[in-house]
Amino acid sequence: MNRLKSSVRKFMLEDLDSIKKQDKPNVIVNFKAILLGFLVIWCLSGVIIYYAFSDWSDRGTFGDMFGAINALFSAFAFGGLVYTLFIQRYELSLQRKELEMQRLEVARNGDQLEQQKNVMIQQSFENTFFKMIELHHNLIASMNDKPYEGRRAIEKLREFLYDELKRANHKRDLNKTIEDFLSLKGRHIKHYLNNYYCILELIEQHGLNTEEDLRDSNYTRIALSQLSEDERFLIFYTLGYKSDTRLFLEKFTDISELNHFARHHYKWMTS
């Protein structure tokens, strides 16, 4: 039985392949020729029977002889219909497989596009990040607190704030000292502080996209490594004395480690 099924299936597939290889116009022409041939034979049979038998009863008897043949042809027609249904079923299965392959290809292309998108986002972030690091150093180089320039100006600003902080005896004095410093020296340092704050915001946004811990981020380490001791001192006070900027800094590092000059100042900030 299995051998018979495999033989029938092989015959059907070979026949289907042969039909697919033929040109569509030739198939239509051959089909019309076959129909025309059957029509001609049917007409000729009627003419031959009419002239071969003179009596209608003889003609009817002769026609009844082909009743079994009519049943046979009916069976052939039904078999042809079943065969056609099998062919259609096979073609539909091929279409389903082709559609499934197309869906897989679309999904694969979607994954590739997503990977390309992530790579482009990463490249865009890194380009912006390193440009802002470069700007950070340019701002330091252009800093001018006459007669001092560049990192020497940063050093003198740190010394000035250090001397002022010695007179702070409680939190209110600390805040007022820092505010007076920013008011007096702000034109030299505010642009620098804003740029560094934007660098940290950029790292934070990237961390939200990658779900990376900010303190463990390589970009955080790079940003912190750019700071000299004088810069750490200034950032600790100028960004740490306000609660919102202090809490933002603590996402990236323990800001008490930025300044070892006066531990009690950190306690005042957080009280």
Q: Which domain holds residue 159?
A: 116-270
The per-residue pLDDT for 113 is 81
Q: Is the domain of 29 the same as that of 61?
A: yes
**pLDDT tens, residue by residue, 109-151:** 777 888 888 888 889 999 999 999 999 999 999 988 888 899 9
Q: Are 165 and 174 in contact (CB under 8 A)?
A: yes
Q: Is the domain of 105 the same as that of 127?
A: no
Q: Is the domain of 132 the same as that of 146?
A: yes
Domains in the chain, number: 2
Domain C-terminal end among 92, 114, 136:
114
The per-residue pLDDT for 94 is 82
Q: Is the domain of 20 the same as that of 153?
A: no
Domain C-terminal end among 114, 142, 166:
114
Tokens of 260: 């070892």
Q: Is the domain of 56 the same as that of 164?
A: no
Q: Is the domain of 95 the same as that of 213?
A: no
**pLDDT tens, residue by residue, 31-57:** 566 657 666 766 776 677 667 666 667
